[in-house]
């Protein structure tokens, strides 16, 4: 196997075994998920990141196309204790560098202690530590990826479930997962997937019942078009969102967001509903969070571990959002009923005629 080098922010270089050749740079993060590696690797929320798997063996049930969440692998590179040949071959086909035979316990500890960090990777017969350090030098922070939405979004409107006769959803694609769309379609909805920079006219053209903002990668403050869209339409349509979508909705309604130290990435994050007291296990993948939801939103659910907002509802507008991924894939299915809740938003008495105070 060819040599592989991982350069961490600060200059420390780790040597491993190369499983897929190439060079890469990105924000180094980790996931605690022990299954669902196919779904994780094709989740657009990992764009511009280098993904470390904390579980020691990745690939023990192969690679199946029906499990993929997008058209391609999104992490810039992959680190693991051990990768099977199936996964290594897949990553090679995708042109994504991969390294194993690392002590991922140390890597995860470094991220937990120092936060998500810049990283450079070099894999190949002629690779050197200097190659990895050169990639590290060219790496920029996640907030500097100002056009990241365009990297993961559709370029024009795509429609799913056109034969359905249920609610119609205008879904703004900031990096949506296939299973999120499928969760609505299998409940009888028609989903029009719009580009991340959709305009109010684009939304009105599909005549939706609900405006939905998807998950996606990067800093929510770099999604200015989506923020403006919600501001313009929140009093015209019910609005819902997941993950990055929650952060965008909060920014649109006067809230603030902040970058987390190392984020939430895994399938065992406990969330409590503040009204019912019910605790559910959730799938999460985000490095930013809502700090202050703003005057038109209130916190309905919180993370049990660190009390970050996991669910928001409208005070004077028809809004519901979730920070976690209710569709799971991978993960527990405790919160699939969120999609039913979204589809019944049009049944509730409307408060959309109430103007925003500011």
- Please tell me the distance from the alpha carbon of residue 315 to that of residue 322, in angstroms, as a whole number: 16
- Token pair listed for 232: 């313009």
The active-site residue, picked from 119, 243, 286, 310, is 243
Residue with tokens 């006769």: 165
Annotated binding-site residue? 244? yes
Annotated binding-site residue? 120? no
- Please tell me the distance from the alpha carbon of residue 97 to that of residue 115, in angstroms, as a whole number: 22
Packed helices 224-233 and 244-252: angle between N→C axes, nearest 10 degrees: 60
Annotated binding-site residue? 247? yes
Annotated binding-site residue? 215? no
- Please tell me the distance from the alpha carbon of residue 282 to that of residue 303, in angstroms, as a whole number: 10
Annotated binding-site residue? 285? yes
Annotated binding-site residue? 314? no
Annotated binding-site residue? 301? no
Annotated binding-site residue? 49? no
CB 230 within 8 A of CB 296: no
In the Cβ-directed half-sphere of 66, how many Cα atoms lie within 13 Å? 0
Cβ atoms within 10 Å, residue 278: 11
Annotated active-site residue 325? The verdict is yes
CB 192 within 8 A of CB 212: no
Annotated active-site residue 139? The verdict is no
Annotated active-site residue 264? The verdict is no
Describe the strand order of the beta sheet including 297-303 as a list of residue ranges: 158-160, 190-194, 168-172, 210-213, 239-242, 319-322, 309-314, 297-303, 256-273, 279-292
The binding site comprises: 45, 216, 218, 244, 247, 285, 287-288
Annotated binding site for L-glutamine: which residue ranges? 45, 216, 218, 244, 247, 285, 287-288
| Residues with catalytic roles | 243, 325, 327
């Amino acid at each position: 196997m060819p040599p592989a080098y991982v350069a961490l922010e600060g200059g420390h270089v780790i040597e491993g075994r190369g499983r897929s050749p190439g060079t890469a740079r990105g924000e180094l993060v980790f996931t605690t998920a022990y299954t669902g590696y196919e779904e994780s690797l094709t989740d657009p929320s990992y764009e511009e990141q280098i993904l470390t798997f904390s579980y020691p063996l990745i690939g023990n049930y192969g690679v199946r196309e029906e499990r993929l969440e997008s058209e391609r692998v999104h992490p810039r590179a992959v680190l693991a204790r051990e990768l099977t040949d199936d996964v290594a071959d897949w990553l090679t086909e995708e042109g994504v560098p991969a390294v194993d035979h690392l002590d991922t316990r140390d890597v995860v500890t470094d991220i937990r202690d120092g936060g998500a960090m810049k990283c450079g990777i070099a894999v190949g017969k002629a690779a050197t530590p200097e190659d990895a350090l050169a990639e590290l030098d060219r790496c920029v922070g996640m907030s500097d990826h100002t056009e990241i939405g365009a990297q993961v979004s559709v370029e024009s409107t795509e429609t799913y479930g056109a034969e359905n006769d249920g609610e119609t959803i205008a879904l703004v694609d900031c990096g949506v997962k296939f299973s999120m769309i499928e969760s609505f379609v299998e409940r009888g909805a028609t989903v029009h997937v719009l580009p991340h920079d959709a305009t109010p006219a684009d939304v009105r053209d599909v005549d939706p019942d609900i405006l939905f903002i998807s998950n996606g990668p990067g800093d929510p403050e770099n999604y200015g078009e989506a923020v403006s869209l919600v501001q313009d339409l929140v009093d015209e349509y019910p609005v819902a969102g997941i993950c990055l979508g929650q952060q965008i909705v909060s920014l649109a309604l006067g809230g603030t967001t902040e970058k987390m130290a190392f984020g939430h990435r895994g399938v065992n994050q406990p969330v409590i509903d503040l009204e019912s007291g019910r605790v559910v296990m959730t799938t999460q993948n985000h490095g930013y969070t809502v700090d202050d939801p703003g005057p038109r939103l209130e916190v309905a659910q919180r993370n049990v571990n660190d009390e970050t907002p996991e669910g928001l509802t409208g005070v004077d507008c028809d809004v519901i959002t979730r920070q976690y991924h209710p569709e799971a894939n991978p993960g527990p299915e405790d919160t699939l009923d969120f999609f039913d809740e979204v589809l019944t938003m049009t049944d509730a008495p409307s408060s959309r005629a109430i103007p925003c105070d500011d």
